Amino acid sequence: MTESPKHLLDTTSEAPQRPSKIAKTTTESEDEEEQQQQEQSVKPTNPNPRMQRYLVAIEYIGTRFSGSQQQLNCRTVVGVLQEAFHKFIGQPVSIFCSSRTDAGVHALSNVCHVDVERISKRKPGEVLPPHEPTVVKKAVNHFLQKNEGDVTVIDVRCVPADFHARFKAKERTYFYRLLSGPESLSTFERDRAWHVPEELDLLAMQEACKILVGHHDFSSFRAAGCQAKSPMRTLDELDVSEVVSNPYFPSIIERRQNDQTQEDLHASSNTSETDLPLSSISIDDKARGFDSGTDLGFGIRRRHRCFVVKTRSRSFLYHQVRLLVGVLKAVGTRKLTIADVERILNAKTVTAASPMAPACGLYLGHVKYDLP
């Protein structure tokens, strides 16, 4: 359960395909029906007209958290955020997240809501007009930075009293980072990605995505303890691409090649930059330091290849994304075939899937709403 990328690459001479996507259907899936039922059962928790509900977007590094949800005697994202709000307004608050993330999972943008009543500190009992969102953002970040600084508020908006961060979400996007290569993982990348020593076959992984995208019974990608009523889910997008591995800064050669490729792409089509597939830009391996035969010079680290799995859906099952990535990684290392992926999906039991990917590479990327 972050946290977004990126200078883009292509590792093959073949033209990359567009990310695997499916068209929206008019028939409601089981997970949408389940979520609508939950939304209808939720009543506004702030009947007090003096309360203001805020929608708060946050980013965090999940390494030192025991997950996002509040737990006794554990450091959690919600716990730290509630503490910062308490220090800001002088009274306790309850915070509700759109998406629960496990220990070690990061967020580029998770969203929560909180109800705040602004009471004068000079005249206790006197209710003042609600704080402006910009004031909330600045003040809460001030206190967050005093508590490890691994959570930051990135956006705040006033919303109606019945707007629920979880049940009003229309879509969630996750990213998963894999670093491929025999070199030991950089200190800067530790707990930020899954290190895979073997080479990964990008095209094979992309083919496997085509099997998994769409509306399916994902029982094989549902961990024990999942509380969802139905295993049916719709993956609107599932794709794997190669990107430049941060935190390395692009060289002059990389920047020039990237700029030239962008100019060529724009000259040959009207596609906007944001619509381009992640793997549509190619940079020479030697310039990036991936070629094992290249002498990079003393003290210059040889880079890993960085692959990003992107998946998008209205809702996910417990550990679904990490189980999907585990299978895709096995395909990339040639331990599974495309036929094996179909077999695992049709088996409808989690025991058929490959080992689950570790939490450290997973980032909650974005939560989409129809905002009032």
95 vs 73: which has the higher pLDDT? 95
Among 122, 181, 110, 94, residue whose Cα is nearest residue 151: 110
* CA dihedral angle for residue 54, residue 57, residue 63, residue 66, rounded to 10 degrees: 30
Instruction: Determine the pLDDT at residue 291.
Output: 56
One-letter identity of residue 114 = V
Instruction: Determine the pLDDT at residue 279.
Output: 44
The pLDDT tens digits of the residues spanning 328-347 come to 999 999 999 999 999 999 99
| Residues belonging to the active site | 102
The pLDDT tens digits of the residues spanning 82-102 come to 999 999 999 999 999 999 999
95 forms bridges with which residues in the sheet? Answer: 114
Among 166, 102, 185, residue whose Cα is nearest residue 359: 102
Instruction: Give the pTM.
Output: 0.80
Among 216, 307, 288, 285, residue whose Cα is nearest residue 250: 288
The pLDDT tens digits of the residues spanning 135-164 come to 999 999 999 999 889 999 999 999 999 999
